[in-house]
Structure 1
Amino acid sequence: MATTEAQHSRLPYRAIALDLDGTLTNNAKEVTPLTRKTLLKAQADGAQIILASGRPTYGIIPVADCLGLEKTGGYILAYNGGKIVDCKTMEELYSNFLPAEVIPMLHQYARSKGYALLGYAGNEIVTEMPDDQYVKEESRINRMIIRKVECLTDHLEAHPTKLLMTGDTTAMVEAEKELIELVGNYIDVFRSAPFFIELVPKGIDKAQSLIRLLTQLNLTPKDMIAFGDGYNDLSMLRLAGIGVAMANAAPEVRAEADYVTLSNEEDGVAAAIEKFCYNKG
Structure 2
Amino acid sequence: MKQHLIAIDLDGTTLNNQSKLTPTTIKTLQTLSRQGHLVSIVTGRPYLISGHLYDQIGLKTPMINFNGALGHIPHRKWAGEYAVNVTREMTLDLLAHKQELGIKMVIAEDKYHVWADHPSSDLPEFLPAKLAPEQILNEHNLNNDPIALTIQFDPAKKDAILNAVDQKYGDFVEPRVWGGPYSIMELIRRGTHKEAGLRHLVKEYQLSPDQIIAFGDEHNDAEMLSYAGRGVAMKNAVDDIKQIADDVTPVDNDHDGLAKYLQDYFHLDAAKLQLAE
Q: Given the two structures, how large is their TM-score scaled by the length of structure 2?
A: 0.84
For 1:116, give the aligned amino acid.
Answer: M
Q: Deviations over 1:192-231 (max 9, x none)?
A: 4343211111221110121011111011111010011111
> What's the counterpart of residue 71 of structure 2?
84
Alignment of 1:252-271 (within 5 A): 252-261=240-249, 262-271=251-260
> What's the counterpart of residue 50 of structure 2?
60
CA separation of 1:96 and 1:21: change in aligned 2, threshold 3 A: same
Q: Distance in 1 between matches of 2:72 and 2:111?
A: 15
For 1:228, give the aligned amino acid.
Answer: G
CA separation of 1:118 and 1:238: change in aligned 2, threshold 3 A: same
Which segment drifts farther, 39-48 or 168-177? 168-177
Cα shift at 1:169: 5.2
> What's the counterpart of residue 166 of structure 2?
180
Alignment of 1:61-140 (within 5 A): 61-69=51-59, 73-87=60-74, 89-91=76-78, 93-112=81-100, 113-120=102-109, 125-131=114-120, 133-134=122-123, 136-139=124-127
Q: Distance in 1 between matches of 2:235 and 2:106?
A: 31
Alignment of 1:1-281 (within 5 A): 10-11=1-2, 14-69=4-59, 73-87=60-74, 89-91=76-78, 93-112=81-100, 113-120=102-109, 125-131=114-120, 133-134=122-123, 136-139=124-127, 145-147=130-132, 151-156=137-142, 158-167=144-153, 171-172=157-158, 175-194=161-180, 195-261=183-249, 262-278=251-267
Q: CA RMSD in A?
A: 2.6
Give the number of equivalent residue pairs: 264
Cα shift at 1:161: 0.4
> What's the counterpart of residue 3 of structure 1?
none
For 1:167, give the aligned amino acid.
Answer: F
Cα shift at 1:178: 4.1
| Structure 2 unaligned spans of 5+ | 271-277
| Structure 1 unaligned spans of 5+ | 1-9
Cα shift at 1:128: 2.0
Give the secondary-structure state (helix, strand or coil) at the position aligned to 2:166. helix
